[in-house]
Structure 1
Amino acid sequence: MSSDPWGRVDEAGTVYVRTADGGERVVGSWQAGSPDEALAYFKRKYDGLVVEIGLLERRVQTTDLSAKDATTAIEHLREQITDAHAVGDLDALAKRLDKLVESVEARREERKVEKAKQADEARHAKESLVVEAEELAQSEQWRAAGERLRSLVDTWKGLPRLDRKSDDELWHRFSHARSAFSKRRKAHFAALDAQREEARKAKERLVSEAEALSNSREWGPTAARYRDLMAEWKAVGRAQREHEDDLWNRFRGAQDIFFTARSEIFAERDAEQAENLKLKEALADEAEQLLPITDLKAARAAFRGINERWEAIGHVPRDARPKVEGRMHTVERALQDSEEAEWRRTNPEARARAEGLTGQLQAAVDKLTGQIETARAQGNNARADKLKKELDGRQALLDQALKGLHEFGG
């Protein structure tokens, strides 16, 4: 007979394993060799169970093996241990399985807590997505809001599902917000399309008028109308993109035809007016040679000839006009002043009035002179001084009258 701390083989070749309660259980029989070989064989069976339990322990600790699968595997091993045809500390293996059950249960609770935490985080995340989507549903930043909503959908898809009721309710709000935004955006762009179509029609009319005016030679009124058309163009707003550039090119092209033609005409006019200015400056030089006026009749005739040539020349540049015309006006005023002086000198009625006034003033001066002499002779100096002041005033008037009479040649 052969024995071991955990089993023995009797004389008949029956193999026993010792149990936790101190008893024994038959695990097999061995007839092919020695008792030691029998024990070694059944101990290898035990070692195989040890390896399987070790592997399961590592799977539970290091992999995401589900609690359900782990429990099934443990029960399977427990059945093998209970009915094991092996020799060894089977009770220790059972205890290892008991500890493993505890580990699986702990993992189950951890996963339950983690799952609840993840579900709570997923709920909060989806609620946040719903709130943001509902805010975006009122936005008019169509491109940015649309892109953000698409991003929210991708985020939603990446989140775990909640319980069916909660998930459906949140998804309904989320989907409703997206639909509301899409509906508003569609209505906005439909209205915008309508506005742009109206703008296209209005700009077609503006282009037609601009093209009709392009060959006009009424430079001022047409240029003013083009300015008005440009203001109307800006006020109309943009047409559809596929029409806007073409309409603008036609509109600008029509204006370019008109303003190019006007520029050419104005360039010719400017050259002509620059030449006219030279001619008028020469005539102004000639007119200024008449000053000072010594022979009014000859000067008047010469100026008339100069002025006739002046009028025949035509326009000069606007900015040069005041200066050159001012020079001619200066000569013209000098002629007018000379004519007025000549008229005063040769007017009989005016001469008579001047002579009469001079005589009256001379008589008054003589009278006052006599009165002053009498007052001084009488020693009345105060009266004499008073009369002297009056005499000074009458003498000044007399001097002025004599000067005017001298202008008449008197």
Structure 2
Amino acid sequence: MTSDPWGRVDDEGNVYVRTAEGEHVVGSWQAGSPDEALAYFTRKYDGIAVEIGLLERRVRTTDLAAKDALTAIEHLRAQVTEGHAVGDLAALATRLDALVAEVESRREERRAARAKAQEEARGAKDTLVAEAERLAESTQWREAGDRLRALVDSWKALPRLDRKADDELWHRFSHARSTFSKRRKAHFATLDQQRDEARLTKEKLAKEAESLSGSTDWGATAARYRELMADWKAAGRAQREAEDELWARFRGAQDVFFQARSAVFDERDAGERENQTLKEALLVEAEALLPIADLKAVKASYRTISERWEEIGHVPRDTRPKLEARLHTVDRAIREAEEAEWQRSNPEARARAQGMTGLLQAAVDKLEKQIEAARAKNDAGRAAKLEAELSGRRELLEQALKGLEEFGG
């Protein structure tokens, strides 16, 4: 009989394995020596140990599913339990028990990780839905549309939740996108209608602008073009292609009119600048008439200057007030000289001046006598009061005498 620490072979060729519960037959060997029999069944043990080692490595280093790992463990456990090998079968069973515990532990870790991932995914999807529902009411059509598309990509990148929760959130998310899409479609439909209306309005404005381009009624037509421009701006924008075409027509018609007006105004301005030069020369002549020595001669010369002034015509608007002010100064001086001359030759005015002078002279004489009487009575107060009154009357008399001199004495 041949044996080793874990097994033996009896004389009939039966091979035994030793366990804590005792010995039991694992096979028989008739083809060779007992040592070869033990070696054969020891190799079977080593094979099982190698398979267990490989399974341990897979469990610890790969994403082997717990179910598959447990199935593999049970398969190996059956090989150990059946005992068709010689070796420390209890050690192999212990390793398998430990591996079961490790698989269960890993399954719990994965279950917790999945639960955490689900919770995080739920939170992320809640956030996506809330943002989508806010964007559903936005009027920033391009930015909101781009962001909603990005949210869809973010949604797809997240793991699925349980069916009920995932479907509920997706329904809200999809509804928000649909709401935004309908609002945007309605907005652009309204915008298209407004643009069509703007196009029709601007076609009419362009047509009227073209009809006015040949007008020579400069003021009224320019005013109408300003009104047309205000109407153009108020009409809103048409579709881009139509807008560009109509604006080219509208602007082109304006350019034709204003270029023609500018040419006429430039020619008129040149003539007005020449008129300005002529009127400035006349002003030199008119101003040379002052101061007035011979009123009759001055009036005759000024009349001639005025007639020539009117014949010359318009000057540039910005120079007109200054030129007319200079001429008005000469005109006013002549009228004032005429007024003074009339006053000197007016008998009624002369008589009034003489009468006033006589009255003032009598008053002065009377006051002088009253002052002498007051002094004679040593009434200094009354004398002082009468002297103050006398001073005022003498000033008035002096002015009246000067006025009388203007009438020739």
Q: TM-score, normalised by structure 1?
A: 0.88
Residue 243 of structure 1 corresponds to 242
Residue 138 of structure 1 corresponds to 137
Deviation string 1:117-167 (CA, Å, 9 cap, x unpaired) is 222222222222222222222222222222222222222222222222222
Q: Go from structure 1 to structure 2 and tell me whether the alpha carbon gap of 1:29 and 1:350 turns closer, same or farther (over 3 Å shift).
A: same
Whether 1:345 and 2:344 are equivalent positions in the alignment is yes
Q: Go from structure 1 to structure 2 and tell me whether the alpha carbon gap of 1:9 and 1:228 turns closer, same or farther (over 3 Å shift).
A: same
C-alpha distance in structure 2 between counterparts of 1:338 and 1:240, whole Å? 74
- Give the alignment of 1:221-370 within 5 angstroms: 221-358=220-357, 364=362, 368=366
Q: Per-residue deviation at 1:186?
A: 1.6
C-alpha distance in structure 2 between counterparts of 1:51 and 1:201, whole Å? 89
Residue 25 of structure 2 corresponds to 25
- Output the amino acid matched with 2:222: A
Q: Per-residue deviation at 1:217?
A: 2.5
- Give the alignment of 1:389-400 within 5 angstroms: 395-400=394-399
Q: Per-residue deviation at 1:198?
A: 2.3
SS of the counterpart of 2:93? helix
Residue 76 of structure 1 corresponds to 75
Q: Go from structure 1 to structure 2 and tell me whether the alpha carbon gap of 1:29 and 1:332 turns closer, same or farther (over 3 Å shift).
A: same
Q: Go from structure 1 to structure 2 and tell me whether the alpha carbon gap of 1:384 and 1:368 turns closer, same or farther (over 3 Å shift).
A: farther
- Output the amino acid matched with 1:15: V
SS of the counterpart of 2:3? strand
Residue 119 of structure 2 corresponds to 120
Contact preservation (8 Å) 2:15, 2:26: yes
Contact preservation (8 Å) 2:368, 2:390: no
- Output the amino acid matched with 2:231: E
Residue 186 of structure 2 corresponds to 187
- Output the amino acid matched with 2:402: K
SS of the counterpart of 1:290? coil
C-alpha distance in structure 2 between counterparts of 1:339 and 1:52, whole Å? 142
Q: Per-residue deviation at 1:78?
A: 1.9
Residue 167 of structure 1 corresponds to 166
Residue 98 of structure 1 corresponds to 97
Contact preservation (8 Å) 2:364, 2:390: no
- Output the amino acid matched with 2:366: L
Q: Per-residue deviation at 1:372?
A: 5.2
Q: Go from structure 1 to structure 2 and tell me whether the alpha carbon gap of 1:310 and 1:58 turns closer, same or farther (over 3 Å shift).
A: same
Contact preservation (8 Å) 1:18, 1:25: no
Q: Go from structure 1 to structure 2 and tell me whether the alpha carbon gap of 1:15 and 1:344 turns closer, same or farther (over 3 Å shift).
A: same
SS of the counterpart of 2:291? coil
Structure 1 range deviating more: 341-350 or 48-57: 341-350
Q: Go from structure 1 to structure 2 and tell me whether the alpha carbon gap of 1:28 and 1:379 turns closer, same or farther (over 3 Å shift).
A: same
Q: Per-residue deviation at 1:338?
A: 1.8
C-alpha distance in structure 2 between counterparts of 1:229 and 1:304, whole Å? 49
Residue 60 of structure 1 corresponds to 59
Q: How many residues align?
A: 408
Q: Per-residue deviation at 1:222?
A: 2.7
Q: Go from structure 1 to structure 2 and tell me whether the alpha carbon gap of 1:28 and 1:260 turns closer, same or farther (over 3 Å shift).
A: farther
C-alpha distance in structure 2 between counterparts of 1:120 and 1:390, whole Å? 115
Residue 35 of structure 2 corresponds to 36
Q: Go from structure 1 to structure 2 and tell me whether the alpha carbon gap of 1:67 and 1:289 turns closer, same or farther (over 3 Å shift).
A: same
Identity %: 69
Contact preservation (8 Å) 1:17, 1:27: no
C-alpha distance in structure 2 between counterparts of 1:305 and 1:184, whole Å? 81
Residue 8 of structure 1 corresponds to 8
Whether 1:202 and 2:201 are equivalent positions in the alignment is yes
Q: Per-residue deviation at 1:350?
A: 3.7
C-alpha distance in structure 1 between counterparts of 2:195 and 2:11, whole Å? 109
Deviation string 1:39-68 (CA, Å, 9 cap, x unpaired) is 222212221111111001111111111111
C-alpha distance in structure 2 between counterparts of 1:142 and 1:377, whole Å? 109
SS of the counterpart of 1:23? strand
SS of the counterpart of 2:224? helix
Q: Go from structure 1 to structure 2 and tell me whether the alpha carbon gap of 1:23 and 1:353 turns closer, same or farther (over 3 Å shift).
A: closer
- Output the amino acid matched with 1:187: A
C-alpha distance in structure 2 between counterparts of 1:269 and 1:282, whole Å? 20
C-alpha distance in structure 2 between counterparts of 1:384 and 1:109, whole Å? 135
Deviation string 1:7-33 (CA, Å, 9 cap, x unpaired) is 2223343333223312121423142x3
SS of the counterpart of 1:73? helix
- Output the amino acid matched with 2:54: L
Residue 404 of structure 1 corresponds to 403
Whether 1:154 and 2:161 are equivalent positions in the alignment is no
Q: Go from structure 1 to structure 2 and tell me whether the alpha carbon gap of 1:86 and 1:212 turns closer, same or farther (over 3 Å shift).
A: same
Deviation string 1:256-292 (CA, Å, 9 cap, x unpaired) is 2222223222222222222211111111111111112
C-alpha distance in structure 2 between counterparts of 1:152 and 1:89, whole Å? 60
C-alpha distance in structure 1 between counterparts of 2:383 and 2:106, whole Å? 144
Q: Which runs of 5+ in 2 are unaligned?
A: none
Contact preservation (8 Å) 2:199, 2:242: yes
Q: TM-score, normalised by structure 2?
A: 0.89
Deviation string 1:359-389 (CA, Å, 9 cap, x unpaired) is 5555x26863884598479657667777666
- Output the amino acid matched with 1:79: A
SS of the counterpart of 1:47? helix
